[in-house]
Structure 1
Amino acid sequence: MADDRRTAQALLEQQGRTYAQEAGIRLADRPGPLYQLLVLATLLSTRIRAGVAVAAARELFACGYRTPQAMEAASWQARVDALGRGHYRRYDERTATMLGTGARLCLDRWHGDLRRLHREAGGSPAALRRLLTEFPGIGPTGADIFLREAQSVWPDVRPYADRRALAGAGLLGLPADPRGLGGLVDGADFGRLASALVRVALDEDSAREVKRAAAR
């Protein structure tokens, strides 16, 4: 267990930056940041590099599309152009449509406040996943991305580790279940740990670097 904790600490030191942080989202249990996380999860759900999705999210937010009201009010072409500036070109037109439709759903169903979705689900990850997948562009993978990051501000969701995070844990020889991983770090750090494990799953070279750091 001590070795696992050292590995987890080395992982946090090397890769412990969440995708929300990369996208410039100051995640908090408030309507704006939660909606921005939904946008990011939508962009990360397509078959495109994570760095491109993050850059596209930053571009959308720089244009002021940080709330469902602003996203819906933007023209379809304005959303396409913002995605293009973020180099999100392969899926830009379809995604621009989904973002507009999703913004309207957020306003109609949840009054622009995803805390209402959280309350309706009663903190149940299964119920949260089901409700999240009602948004266009958010399938099971997108719901996992959202919850993996949202657990930092929704403690009742912790510890949440999806298949990709657990694959990263396997590469590092860490416990292959959320509860086991949860015992390695403070609760507030688990969201960072889950994101870091995903990065390891996407880049096996980083697993070797983390192991070397933990062994020092």
Structure 2
Amino acid sequence: MGKSDKAVLDALLDRYGRTFADEAGIKLSDQPKPLYQLLVLATLLSARISAEVAVAAAKELFAAGYATPKGMREASWQDRVDALGRGHYRRYDERTATMLGDGADLLIDRWKGDLRRLRDEADGDAGRIHDLLTEFPGIGPTGADIFLREVQGVWSQVAPHLDERVLAGAAKLGLPRQERSLARLAHSDDELARLSAALVRVSRSEKTAKEIKAAATG
């Protein structure tokens, strides 16, 4: 890693190196509950709505007791709508409430509520995991990418997972735009997940990109 790349990386991780799961209060580990919480968050982040609102809505759902597939399934549709509303996730609240209920049903019925079983069905293959994730209501290719770039911190099988949005953020900062080259800048899978989240934020904001460049050269 050159000095310039290191300076950019240090500034980037220092300012924006927090995963979206962490922001939502998810203590991510290779266990059924936090993995399900990440799936819920990925569903919310998939809509055309700000990340801040999606994170707030996830927190409200979890605080209401819907942090497991069983809890989500047992909640009434109106309970889910109300929790989403408290997080200001109002534009898509009714449709999303339905999708979260249907998704919980699918996870329980097909994988006994445990996303590790989905991973095992895919033999740990990232492409196959991506495809299986898109079977959940509300999780399209974008949602599957969100899940994988966050879960790579605890699922080494899928690392590196740096989708086009991450690579676009890297290009704005003059970092490598090739997945393997960019991945080599991270010292661990956890740091790779943090780097991915930071670069997604950069991809969405010219102001953020300029801030990081200024900090790296200052």
**Aligned residue in 2 for 1:74:** 75
5+ unaligned residues in a row in structure 1: which ranges?
none
- Candidates 205, 208, 216, aligned match of 2:207: 205
Q: TM-score, normalised by structure 2?
A: 0.97
CA–CA separation in structure 2 for the residues paired with 1:42 and 1:182: 25
The residue that corresponds to 1:164 in the other structure is 165
CA RMSD of aligned residues (A): 0.8
Q: 1:172: Cα distance to partner?
A: 0.3
Q: How does 1:127-206 map to 2 (within 5 A)?
A: 127-188=128-189, 189-206=191-208
Q: How many residues align?
A: 216
Contact 1:5 1:185 in 2 (8 A): no
Distance 2:120 2:148 in 1: 14
Contact 1:25–1:33 at 8 Å: present in 2 too?
yes
- Where has structure 1 moved over 4 Å in runs of 4 or more? none
Deviation by residue 1:158-181 (Cα, 9 ceiling, x = unmatched): 111111111100100111121111
The 3-state SS of whatever aligns with 1:90 is coil
Task: List aligned pairs for 1:16-165, cutoff 5 A.
Answer: 16-165=17-166
Aligned-partner residue type, residue 159 of structure 2: R
**2:17 is matched by which residue type in structure 1?**
G
Percent identity (aligned): 64
CA contact (8 A) 1:20 1:149 kept: yes
Whole-angstrom CA distance in 1 between matches of 2:179 and 2:103: 30
Distance in 2 between residues matched to 1:175 and 1:58, nearest whole Å: 34
TM normalised by structure 1 equals: 0.98
Range 59-68 or range 4-13, more displaced: 4-13
Report how far residue 10 of structure 1 moved.
Answer: 1.3
Using the TM superposition, give the Cα deviation of residue 114 of structure 1 relative to its aligned residue in structure 2, in angstroms.
0.3
Residue 5 of structure 1 and its aligned partner are, at CA, apart by 2.2
Q: Match of 1:57, as an amino acid?
A: A
- Report if aligned partners of 1:166, 1:176 keep a CA contact under 8 Å in 2: yes
